[in-house]
Amino acid sequence: MAPPTSADGAVAVSIGSFPATLEAARARRLAELGALAVMVAWSFNFVTVKAAISAVPPVGFAFVRFLLAGLLLLAITRWREGSVGLPRRVAIRVGLLGGLGFGLYQLLWATALSLTTAGTSSLLVATTPIFTLLAAVATRAERGHRLRYIGAIVAFAGVALVAAGSGLRVDGAGLGDVMTIGAAACWGWYLALSAPLLATYSPLRLTTWAILAGTAVLAVPGLVELATGDLSAVGPRHIAAILYSGIVAGGLANVVLFRAIALLGPSRIANLQFLVPALTIVLAAILLGEPILAVQAAGLAVIVAGIIVARRAPSGTAAGRAGPEPPPLIEA
């Protein structure tokens, strides 16, 4: 069919779609700003948790934090999607993944944060994309490629540089670094193994139940810590830290990020995650007095380089299986 023309033969241009186009562009801009705000919120969360666990036991803090986040997301899921349930088979799988990604992860990360600095912790957690790629290859969700292996080697060289700032010890800060790397591995495997479920269920619903499953894992050690620990130093600022970490960084931030991923795609959002370590180091220096070490800056640069190399490997699945997208976030 020929396009409509005016009396002088010029092609008529319809402007009816302009408002919709402008609205879509506005929504994308707001989504990007929201994703940037999430990165700032998570950077601040490293500092918030580090300061709070001086008075609140770390696992107890994590338990209360994710209990709040899980209940909030449960309410949001019910409001947005009209229901919250999962089939029994899927619920069991999500429960196991949540125990890994939110339960064991938090046991390691929150405890490690009491032994190492907030800046170092954020740098080591930045290796999560490498663990996700390795997990995808190991489970044959993606084909192996030399760039993935080279990227992993380069990124872990960056980890070694960051750990060198702690003297590569196996106690104190060094032990905290090792535990943080273990936490990053847990989160990477969680992302890789849960990615296939996103083809059927919304990220909001899956994350809600994964967080609640992780909270169940944290319940016993968390409640024991809270019951036996000395909470005499807990004050209003520590309560505020729990509320911020649970409701803002743990709950609302995920909802905002889901919207950004839907509009902009996971790869675009993944690139923003490199802001988290840099922002955390600056915030920790300002608010906690942590020194900014040259070896940290060098380690961050090498970690980022390794991740970029690994991401340059051609995307592809193994045996026709759907492989996971690059991780869109650093969980904190």
Range of the domain at 168: 46-311
Q: Which range has the worst mean pLDDT, 1-5, 171-175, 257-261? A: 1-5
Torsion sign, CA atoms 87, 90, 93, 99: negative
| Residues 266-318 pLDDT 10s | 555 665 666 777 788 888 888 888 887 787 778 778 877 877 777 676 655 44
DSSP states along 303-321: HHHHHHHHHTSPP-BSTTP
Look at residue 24 and tell me if it is in a domain: no
Look at residue 35 and tell me if it is in a domain: no
Query: DSSP label at 102?
Result: I
Look at residue 13 and tell me if it is in a domain: no
Identify the band that residue 217 occupies on the pLDDT scale cut at 50, 70 and 90. Answer: very high
Identify the band that residue 6 occupies on the pLDDT scale cut at 50, 70 and 90. Answer: very low
* Cβ atoms of residues 102 and 217 within 8 Å: yes
The pLDDT of residue 104 is above 90: yes
| Residues 123-150 pLDDT 10s | 788 777 778 777 777 776 666 677 777 8
Look at residue 18 and tell me if it is in a domain: no
Look at residue 58 and tell me if it is in a domain: yes
| Residues 260-273 pLDDT 10s | 776 766 555 665 66
Number of domains, the chain = 1
Look at residue 251 and tell me if it is in a domain: yes
Phi first, then psi, for residue 165 (nearest 5°) are: -65, -20
Torsion sign, CA atoms 210, 82, 202, 29: negative
pLDDT for the residue numbered 272: 67
The pLDDT of residue 323 is above 60: no
Give residue 202's identity as a one-letter amino acid code.
S
What does pTM read for this prediction? Answer: 0.74
Q: Which two tokens stand for residue 311?
A: 């991401």
Identify the band that residue 9 occupies on the pLDDT scale cut at 50, 70 and 90. Answer: very low
Of 176 and 16, the one with more pLDDT: 176
Query: DSSP label at 252?
Result: I
Look at residue 33 and tell me if it is in a domain: no
| Residues 24-51 pLDDT 10s | 778 788 888 888 898 889 889 988 988 8
Look at residue 10 and tell me if it is in a domain: no
The pLDDT of residue 248 is above 80: yes
Encode 101-122: b = buried (16+ Cβ within 10 Å), e = exposed.
Answer: bbbbbbbbbbbbbbbbbbbbbb
